[in-house]
Amino acid sequence: MNQTPIVRRMFSVALTLSTAVALLLAANELPQVSIPLAASLLPLLALCFVSGHYLASRPTRRRTETVKLTTLKATMRTVHLIVNNFFNNLLLIELDLKDQLPSASLDEIESGMQETFRQLKALGDVQAVKETPFAMGALIEYPQATSAKNGARKA
């Protein structure tokens, strides 16, 4: 694991403190002084180990978030392509049925397609992956644009 100088320093301090505690406990000349002194150093030792572990794990969490975001963006590009292909086929069908369907229905289809494209684009443009619970599993939060039909909505 690549450790930053701060993490190395924290582990070095922890090692030095643990050595000092061991030496103090091993010294039998002044047990009335060495045991309380060793006991007072233990919380500092624990703090050094915990801080070092926290600092060492931060880059891993950052990398994990970056991988999540990269995967989400690749997935969204693929989804966008699939939905776009479906909508192109739907437009071809719409052209065939143009004379048989009322214009309000055709407008509704077009409006639904545009709203779907806006939502997919917003989801593909997220800068951080934040999940929200949903009945069928976690969903990714994304900013939702105001729709004239549905009013303002927020994820």
The yes-or-no verdict on residue 61 having pLDDT over 80 is: no
The yes-or-no verdict on residue 153 having pLDDT over 50 is: no
Across the range 129-144, mean pLDDT stands at 86
What is the rounded CA–CA span in Å between residue 56 and residue 4? 8
What is the rounded CA–CA span in Å between residue 87 and residue 69? 26
**In terms of Cα–Cα distance, which of 138, 144, 155 is closest to 120?**
144
* pLDDT at residue number 65: 83
**In terms of Cα–Cα distance, which of 120, 121, 108, 95 is closest to 150?**
108
